[in-house]
Amino acid sequence: MKRYMTNCVRNLAFALLAVSPLLTMAQQPQIQNLRAYDQSGINVFETPKKTDVKFDGLKVRFGAGFTQQFQAIKSENPGAANSGGTTVATAGANKLYPLKPGFMTAQANLFTDVQLADGIRLNVTTYLSARHHNEAWVKGGYIQFDKVPFKGEFWDKLMSVATLKIGHFEVNYGDAHFRRPDGGQTLYSPFMEGNVMDAFATEIGGEVYLQKNGLFGMLGVTNGMIKGNIDTVIVGTAPDPGTTKKPSVYLKGGIDKQVTETVRLRLSGSYYHNGGSYGSGLTLYGGDRTGSNYQNAFDKWVASGAAQAYTATAFSGRYNPGFTAKVDAVMLNAFAKISGFEFFGTYESANGRAKSETAMRHASQYAVEGIYRIGKQENVFLGVRYNGVKADVSTTASVDVNRFCLAGGWFLTKNVLLKAEYVNQLYKNFAQTDYRYNGKFNGVVVEAVVGF
């Protein structure tokens, strides 16, 4: 087993070394206010207002994120009801997917960025291959205004601090979504996965930002769902006869200061609200169309007498509280970078329910991570993270999910990364009839990543 993993890591490293000269030779047009897709995009949150890129005509830039993964994880749920069997034909409904070390299907993102005018840019992101969809799917597209084509001192002063974003985009709720993997673009994250309770969604709407002297604020309004539709919602049924589609409204504010040459501090708070949407369902905690980077790490093996497809078990290791009809959520984040050391913390509290419920439930989570980046270019890093979730599954019962990770990585160039992680995740207080009863998975995942 150890020799097999060593050979796999060596082969991944050789592949990265082979492609890195091609990446460094490529000359890309510069786009204003763009978060870089390589190492220089790490620890970038909202796009800054200042840019040294001069507009000299329409430009189109193509970028990509590629990730190849090797996984060696084992899982168990001893004592869970109906979890026996050794074949698909004999496996019980709570039998976990049998796991062996191996490579996962590579993931890939395509980024298209267009400089349309001075201060106006367009982005379209396509998932070319991902856990949940092996075929190409469009993540979304939006237009961002950091300037407007109107003459006058009023507009110049307003747009010196304001940004407007309109389209189908990744909603800016909390700071954790800036550090999570996203399909093939896993270069920003030192770990293999984001938070266990993954607040990530692409929705249709608009966001308005104000930024000045390190202070920032944002107001966003969206449809609250992954997809848009103009359907009339069918009359609801008991226990909840709701028939409306309400917009989501969310706020964010904070401070991000480079205190000294080696010290940066950031604090932010976010609030997301939807009072009741009965279209295809709210997706704040289920809006990812790519999937988890722990493949089948803790999933049921069979459904309706057949082995489940990988795409049907795309969100391994995550916990979705199921707030699909109503949700109110708050996320607080703290970030500090002192020379090579980084701290990032998350606290989140959410209340909501599904359409099949009448009572509101509560879910909360916290995550703390420390990263140490080594060298003048910070090309090597080591990291540790602990993430805990506590969620009500009814008005009388709650469950816990806890994850511990150790990670390390090496940037061969600013575009090429090799990283590895050890993960240990525990499920507590689930009913014996649930496949997560006494659940646990642990092991190692290795990733070879390219971003440009």
**pLDDT by residue (tens digit) across 110-135?**
999 999 999 999 999 999 999 888 78
Domains of the chain, start order: 2-451 (2.40.160.10)
Q: What's the pTM? A: 0.91
Beta strands in 238-340 (DSSP E): 248-258, 263-274, 302-303, 306-307, 326-338
- Other CB atoms within 10 A of residue 259 CB: 12
Amino acid at 174: G
Work out the mean pLDDT of the chain and round it to a whole number: 91
Do the beta carbons of residue 417 and residue 276 sit within 8 Å?
no
The C-alpha angle with vertex 337 and arms to 334 and 338, in degrees rounded to 5, equals 135
Do the beta carbons of residue 105 and residue 15 sit within 8 Å?
no
Lowest mean pLDDT among 45-49, 371-375, 401-405, 408-412: 45-49
The model's confidence at residue 14, banded by pLDDT at 50, 70 and 90, is very low
Q: With H, G, I as helix, E, B as strand and everything else as coil, classify residue 276.
A: coil
| Statement: residue 24 has pLDDT above 60 | no
pLDDT tens column, 251-280? 999 999 999 999 999 999 999 999 887 666
The model's confidence at residue 367, banded by pLDDT at 50, 70 and 90, is very high
| Statement: residue 23 has pLDDT above 50 | no
Q: What six digits make up the tokens of 443? A: 């092991």
Q: What six digits make up the tokens of 57? A: 């005509």
